[in-house]
Structure 1
Amino acid sequence: MKKLSVLFISFVMAVTLSACSTAPASSETAYKAGTYTGSAQGMNGEVVVEVEVSDDAILSVKITDEKETDGISDPAIETLPAEIVEYQSLGLDTITGCTVTSTAILEAAAKALESAGADLASLQKPVEKIAGETIEKTADVIVVGGGGAGISAAATVASEGKTVILIEKTAALGGNTLASGGVWNAVNAELDALTPSDEGRLSTLRTYLEYDENLFVGEFKNTYSTLKQQINDYLSGDTSTLFDSVEFHLIQSYLGGLREDLDGNTIYGSYDLLNTLVTNSDATISWLKETAGSEFNNTLSEPIGSLWLRSQTPKTSKQVDFFDKPAAYVEKNGGEIIYQTTADELYVENGRIVGVHAVKNDGTEVILHANNGVILATGGFAGNTEMVMKYDNYWGDDLYASIGSTNVSSTVGEGIIMAQKAADADVTGMEFTQLMPIGFASNGRLALGNGTNVMYVTPEGKRFVDEYAERDVISKAAFANGGEQGLFYEIGLKSNVALWQDEDCYEASSIEELAKLINMDPAVLTAEVEKYNGYADAGLDADFGKTVFTTKIETSGDDVYVARAMKPSLHHTMGGLVIDTLCHVYNQSGEVIPGLYAAGEVTGGIHAGNRLGGNAIADIYTFGHIAGQSAANAN
């Protein structure tokens, strides 16, 4: 329904604009009257555009088919067709945050217009947009960034009865949160009681009794002792339903982030920050339900690299429950959201952050004053490969300039840079970036999945890793064992595939046929699948130690076998601004920067060297909520 609505809205806007503002084309842009079609590669597949022209004007532009990501692509789909008609031009700026979709629309329209005899060189001359008068506003709190952390912070400020302005540099809320799997780790005893356990999960719990206590530092050691007692108590009693605890979540997050850089330096998450995350995550979900009316499913899930079944998911969609409802709450309670507005400077007076300078996409200057403070929720920098490679001290030669990214293009690290420039803000963990092992090989897009019902094989058909392991472990194994740039294949059943992309996905009725499609020796792949299924039956993987299997790779009914081509892609930057548990930002002298707060991927110190799957959404909404409380109640 959403796609049809967008098509209709774009058509109506195009007709309306053509009626009131379309200027006849010059002789350079005369057309052969008629309707023409063009297509171009978008993020997820072909974008098909239909253009109607008269002898001297573009009359309408309609997108007739596309498979782009809901929410992220909407601004381009809803805006560009009408703008082509309004300006009688293809020389338009792409929409920030959906560059690939924007480019595809413009390229598809160009192909259609070329068929109509258009002079493309003339049509593609840049359109000059005129800046408006300077906008100047004041609010108690200014939030920079409209992803999960930003909208959580803004909704919190509004709920505290304070005024808030949120600025977002793209044309819609969402950012990387919409590009993610949308899973939120939060320990919830009621959901655990509804979730059956199994022998594989019991085996996993037993491994947590065997760690050397010297692996744990400070308060983590005491937490580990508590966890061992909890696990022993559980294993000696009723094990029919799922075990979980905030201590288990904390220890898994600590171990998941405990890493060494290429120089042998050890990094691990801050106990105070991790403890704040795991103890407040489920309460933040409850707050979002009560405040914004967001809804969540009553079943648990587990994304790749999560290590345990504890993720909660939005009931309607990420767009609705994570953004539309909180945004409506903000605006209903006096808050304001300004789109296509990029912050470029923090205002400082007497050492305190007092506002933000920004620029709208048409060049209009925006000056925002903050009575209480500014919250940076600008995200990380995994969309900025140059910045990632500049800081990297973990992946080394495995990183390359053309590596794909699961991120939206707007995640470039400007929040960190602004804070450093304005107030000498300190950073931590910048040398660590998480790679997502299951990025589609052709474009790096997040392929989704959890590793419990698939096997990963090299281009030769050999299995090479525990698919349920941490994300960096799988990525390193792919680089060591896979093809060029870590190429490998995910083998499974189509009924379990979360996302399909034609360029990277294959299906067949037999393993032998599937192997031929991806140029593997059928005998090798068949033998690997049979061995894997044996491990699934036993609940234990003798090769790589996998203990969690939800299904075998064995078809039934109308199901078919599938292979998806994968390469590790830039996913999440571990490092960022130094904060405390109240989200104050610190300078390099170890002092709080008055008036400056930060939440989400712009911060560091939480996930250390590697993040658990499902911890990002928990992080951004939980610390966004805390940042909102701190800023709203600041003097």
Structure 2
Amino acid sequence: MVKNDRRSALKTLACCSAALMLPSMAFGKMFEKDVPRWDESFDAIVVGTGYAGSAAMLSLFRNGVKGAIMIDKMPYLGGNSAYSGGSLAASETPDQAREGIKDSHALHYQDTMKSGHNLNDPALVKLMVDQSPVILQWLKDNGVKFINVGRSGGHSVRRSHATGVGSYITRPLQKKILDEGGKIRNRVIMDEIIYNAKGEVVGIKVREKYQFNFERGFDENENKSGQVKYYRAYGGIIVATGGWAADLKFRQKMDPKLRPDVLTTNHLGATAYTIEKLMSDGVKVVDMQYIQSMHVTSQDEGSFGYGYRWITKAYVYGMMVNPKTGLRFMNEIADRKVGSDAILKMNEGGKNPPVLIMDIDGTKTVDLAQLQRGMMVDAVKQFETMDELIDYYHINKKPFLEQLKRYNGFVDAAAKDPNYRDPEFGRNFSDYKGKFIKVEKPPFFAARPGPKVHHCMGGVKTTIDCEVYNDKLQIIPGFYAAGEVTGGRHGYNRLGSNAVLDCCLFGQRAGAALARRYDKLRSI
């Protein structure tokens, strides 16, 4: 009871804080009576072509809604999803069983709620973890190929089922959509959601042939390009437009610490254009102040870059030190929020980035092509001896070598006892194909992690079937949302690879829910 009361209190405080930070907006909905004409009519409209949008569109088709269309404002498909990590968190899977990984939905739920500081919506999280193996199989059935099961920070065990890159998920789904006669259009931006007199969503106002401005920091509200059209949606719409980590002004309103000079992993199209419109329409939003930085990116690259693949593995099979002290300063497998905060605190001023180190055995866990890409852009470097590495990064040698010896001792202890935690930071250790990997065999590899703004935990409040609430907590008929544009799934902080699960599961559910509404309307 105490825990529940504490969670309610924290949630209340968080919502109050968010409300104070939200920009003041005059509500200005567009109604059907203001539409001069309907240029085209569809059974359903999906806005956004990433994980959530693609899953929603395919779900619509599989549930009998064939007259649907999926649109994207960008000249390319997939948004952030297409070049994100492409790993899906799933528990109790056949893939885990084959590798002898002991996991449970209960542990997955516990990890997710812990990272979210129990501010997550428990019903949404439980649904996510319980359905995770189903979504994994659904993706496989639709042409997605998974290559291994890794471990992302904050997860107690290896449960991140990797594809290699996000486009290896979005492209197979989009191919299925097109093969089945679906319509996908680029360079179409949604400007308005159109309601009828009953408050039901009946369509959208768009601009076709939209020319996105790729200038960093450009206010998308100033972009007037494109030709205005009105799309009728008989069954409703699904908004899956993603987050706004690349919107320098809006994200700083939500979190004042996110200055314009802080880089992001997101593509430039990740703006607040849609979420601001939804808020002005009186759509309920939650957790808007929680914006996550990701610490698997490189200090030596802009945007997402290429080094993250090696860095991700090095957190699991390597060690990270402060070069000035030569000592570890955090649990390398901490979640993204904890990890990013620790690095930013240690590297205050940006002149002392940490050094993350892995030996040849650890580096063999990285796909060779991904390693080569990271090395090609100098985000990952190779050294024939440890002394060479120490000299290059100006690491405080004597304490570092003592730290290295202690670290390798921790790995030896973990190989004997699966419940072992290192006495410095409480870290546990994962084996790779039955072997626990130390940092001892040359050549050695290293990188300098640098956190970048990555994921927006907050967004539209929905039901478990992705129905959208208004500010009065009433469901808006015909309006569904899925993916990063929604809130409630991750709370204070998102665990890596839970986003792909979130997007694909709720995208699928949004499509199924809209299809049920469409069938009901047709029967009247």
TM-score (norm. length: structure 1)? 0.66
Structure-2 residue corresponding to 1:307? 156
Partner residue of 1:294 out of 141, 144, 151: 144
1:338 partner amino acid: R
Q: Distance in 2 between matches of 1:452 and 1:528?
A: 17
Q: Distance in 2 between matches of 1:594 and 1:572?
A: 28
State the superposition RMSD in angstroms.
2.2
Q: Distance in 1 between matches of 2:266 and 2:191?
A: 21
Partner residue of 1:417 out of 260, 265, 276: 276
8 Å CA contact 2:90–2:133 kept in 1: the answer is yes
Are the structure 2 counterparts of residues 552 and 296 from structure 1 closer, same or farther at C-alpha, using a change threshold of 3 Å? closer
Q: Distance in 2 between matches of 1:510 and 1:169?
A: 50
- Give aligned pairs, total: 438
SS across alignment from 1:462: coil
Q: Structure 2 matches for 1:204-603, cutoff 5 A?
A: 242-258=101-117, 268-290=119-141, 292-297=142-147, 299-314=148-163, 318-320=166-168, 322-350=169-197, 351-359=199-207, 360-361=209-210, 363-392=226-255, 397=257, 399-422=258-281, 424-442=282-300, 443-445=302-304, 447-448=308-309, 449-450=312-313, 451-460=315-324, 461-485=326-350, 487-493=353-359, 494-496=363-365, 499=371, 500-501=374-375, 502-539=377-414, 540-550=421-431, 551-556=436-441, 559-603=442-486
8 Å CA contact 1:148–1:177 kept in 2: the answer is yes
SS across alignment from 2:334: coil
2:425 partner amino acid: F
Partner residue of 1:183 out of 80, 87, 99: 87
SS across alignment from 2:316: coil
Cα displacement (A) at 1:528: 2.3
SS across alignment from 2:61: helix
8 Å CA contact 1:277–1:622 kept in 2: the answer is yes
8 Å CA contact 2:48–2:242 kept in 1: the answer is yes
Cα displacement (A) at 1:189: 4.1
SS across alignment from 2:451: strand
Cα deviations across residues 455-489 of structure 1 (Å, max 9, x unaligned)? 12123132100111111111111122235348322
Partner residue of 1:140 out of 43, 47, 65: 43
Cα displacement (A) at 1:279: 1.5
SS across alignment from 1:300: strand
SS across alignment from 1:606: coil
- Structure 1 residue runs of 5 or longer lacking an equivalent are 1-133, 197-241, 259-266
Identity %: 29
Cα displacement (A) at 1:379: 0.2
Q: Distance in 2 between matches of 1:515 and 1:383?
A: 36
1:174 partner amino acid: G
Cα deviations across residues 104-123 of structure 1 (Å, max 9, x unaligned)? xxxxxxxxxxxxxxxxxxxx
- Structure 2 residue runs of 5 or longer lacking an equivalent are 1-36, 212-225, 415-420
8 Å CA contact 1:183–1:303 kept in 2: the answer is no
Structure-2 residue corresponding to 1:63? none
Cα deviations across residues 143-185 of structure 1 (Å, max 9, x unaligned)? 0001000000000111112121000122222221123211101
Q: Distance in 1 between matches of 2:83 and 2:144?
A: 19
Cα displacement (A) at 1:519: 2.2
Are the structure 2 counterparts of residues 307 and 344 from structure 1 closer, same or farther at C-alpha, using a change threshold of 3 Å? farther
Cα displacement (A) at 1:555: 4.8
Cα displacement (A) at 1:431: 0.8
8 Å CA contact 1:436–1:472 kept in 2: the answer is yes
Cα deviations across residues 476-525 of structure 1 (Å, max 9, x unaligned)? 11122235348322111343555515343332111211111122233333
2:49 partner amino acid: G
Cα deviations across residues 555-593 of structure 1 (Å, max 9, x unaligned)? 54xx52122112111111110000010101101101011
Cα deviations across residues 370-402 of structure 1 (Å, max 9, x unaligned)? 10111000001112232222112xxx65x4321
Cα deviations across residues 319-369 of structure 1 (Å, max 9, x unaligned)? 34x122221221232320001222221112221111122222252333221
TM-score (norm. length: structure 2)? 0.79
Give the greater-gyration-radius structure (CA).
1
Q: Distance in 1 between matches of 2:475 and 2:106?
A: 29
Q: Distance in 2 between matches of 1:506 and 1:289?
A: 35
2:60 partner amino acid: V
8 Å CA contact 2:242–2:483 kept in 1: the answer is yes
Cα displacement (A) at 1:317: 5.9
Cα displacement (A) at 1:305: 3.5
Are the structure 2 counterparts of residues 607 and 319 from structure 1 closer, same or farther at C-alpha, using a change threshold of 3 Å? same
1:467 partner amino acid: E
1:301 partner amino acid: G
8 Å CA contact 2:82–2:165 kept in 1: the answer is no
8 Å CA contact 1:506–1:517 kept in 2: the answer is no
8 Å CA contact 1:356–1:369 kept in 2: the answer is yes
Cα deviations across residues 389-430 of structure 1 (Å, max 9, x unaligned)? 2112xxx65x432111111111112232222223x0011001
